[in-house]
A and B are shown apart, each in its own frame.
Chain A
Amino acid sequence: MTKKPPIFILDSDEKFAGCLARYIKKAGGEPKIFKNLFEMNAGLSVTIPRLIFFDPLLDGPDAFGFLNELMSYDDTNKIPLAIVSNLSFNLADFEDYPMRAIFNKSRLRPEDIIAFVKHAGLSH
């Protein structure tokens, strides 16, 4: 049986990322946490995830330039993306990207992530 690709979490807030990881495991996914873009790029060189949750505001360079870089490669430009942030974003601003959802950290509930991972067809 083929092992499912992991779900990446890109967030410099390790405690918050740890919470997301617990919800993803509950949904049957395998989370991997990265604190910054350097770690994420190293992770992408090893495996292509089936979804990336990320907070655009990171220690060091933010994730917006990273988004464009993801789009520039054939093997990463279709990875489903989801923003999890304290800032407010509109999904409509990301129509050029495979952005599937935007979650606000101050209102996020575990069931939101679990339902998203399961019903977006990502758990199988």
Chain B
Amino acid sequence: MEVQNYLAFTASELSAPLSLLRQLTLALDYAETPRDESLLKSEIVAVSDQLMKTIENLSEIERLESGVFVSEPVCVRSLCDDVKTELEHSDHSRHFLVKYSKSPLAASNYHLLKNAVYNFSLSALHFSTEETPSRIEVKTKNNQIRIEIRDFGPAVPKSFADSLKNLSAPTSIPMRPLSSGLNLYLATKFANFLGARPGLIRHQDGASFTLDLAPSKQASLL
């Protein structure tokens, strides 16, 4: 994608939450009760927090190419719990489940891996309901650790699923206009930089975004 198109897409993706922020602020004068006003204020903070994090991540990926990262044993369970806490703090009306049968250590980088999981989870958060809560699941199989972020939103076209691993630029997500293609792009950039092999499993009732990690060799000494 040309730089100009990249910039135009990014500007478009960032303008939607700004438009929402503006409207939530205007709506404060029309809050029906003090509780409603409090709800609006918490929504303003939540949207602002997510927008700021996206902008920080954008700055960070520009520095990725030129830098190296420290590889360390990362407790995947704790990381997923931290992402869940951060997301639910930013949107009290939505909930995530975190499922794990084990608590493996991965050879990775906590900060960068958390950015990847967070950005994948952000779109899943939008589709999370009481009846069908989105979830982060940690699995181990064949000496690999898989983090799976499952949502119950609209099914994703196969062509998009096939292109996910090699996203070279932010792109809109078919059938999911409110899911940010920018956040998805950020997630795959962080994941690919870590060698965490991003993927997408299509379901009839949603999608699972996956990250495959190598276990930390240190774990085998425990």
Footprint of B on A, CB under 8 Å? 12-13, 15-16, 18-19, 22-23, 25-26, 57-62, 86, 105-106, 108-110
How distant is B190 from chain A, measured CB to nearest CB, in Å?
25
How distant is A51 from chain B, measured CB to nearest CB, in Å?
18
Beyond A59-B154, A86-B15, A86-B16, whether A13 also contacts B178 by CB under 8 A is yes
Q: Are B26 and A59 in contact (CB under 8 A)?
A: no
Q: Which residues of A contact B47 (CB under 8 A)?
A: 15
> B31 in the interface, Cβ–Cβ < 8 Å?
yes
C-alpha gap A108/B126 in the complex (Å): 23
Beyond A12-B178, A58-B177, A59-B175, whether A19 also contacts B15 by CB under 8 A is no
C-alpha gap A25/B23 in the complex (Å): 16
C-alpha gap A108/B24 in the complex (Å): 11
Q: Which residues of A contact B15 (CB under 8 A)?
A: 86, 106
Q: Which residues of A contact B154 (CB under 8 A)?
A: 59-60
**Cβ < 8 Å to A, chain B residues 1-37:** 15-16, 18-20, 22-24, 26-27, 29-32, 36
B32, B43, B175, B177: the one contacting A15 at CB < 8 Å is B43
C-alpha gap A19/B47 in the complex (Å): 14
Which residue of chain A has its CB nearest to the CB of B26? Answer: A110
> B176 in the interface, Cβ–Cβ < 8 Å?
yes
Q: Which residues of A contact B178 (CB under 8 A)?
A: 12-13, 57, 59
Q: Are A106 and B19 in contact (CB under 8 A)?
A: yes
C-alpha gap A56/B203 in the complex (Å): 24
How distant is A100 from chain B, measured CB to nearest CB, in Å?
21
Across the A-B interface, give the 3 residue pairs with the lowest CB-CB distance, nearest first.
A57-B177, A19-B27, A22-B30
Footprint of A on B, CB under 8 Å? 15-16, 18-20, 22-24, 26-27, 29-32, 36, 43, 47, 126-127, 153-154, 175-178
C-alpha gap A106/B87 in the complex (Å): 25
C-alpha gap A9/B126 in the complex (Å): 18
Q: Which residues of A contact B153 (CB under 8 A)?
A: 59
C-alpha gap A57/B178 in the complex (Å): 8
Q: Are A110 and B30 in contact (CB under 8 A)?
A: yes
C-alpha gap A84/B43 in the complex (Å): 20
15 further A-B pairs in the complex, CB-CB below 8 A; given A18-B27, A110-B30: A13-B20, A15-B20, A15-B24, A19-B24, A22-B31, A22-B36, A23-B30, A25-B30, A25-B32, A59-B127, A61-B175, A86-B19, A105-B20, A106-B22, A110-B26
Give 12 pairs: A residue, B residue, CB < 8 Å, sorted on A.
Answer: A13-B178, A25-B32, A26-B30, A57-B178, A58-B177, A59-B126, A59-B176, A59-B177, A62-B177, A86-B19, A105-B23, A110-B27
Q: Which residues of B contact A25 (CB under 8 A)?
A: 30, 32
A12, A22, A62: the one contacting B27 at CB < 8 Å is A22
Q: Which residues of A contact B31 (CB under 8 A)?
A: 22
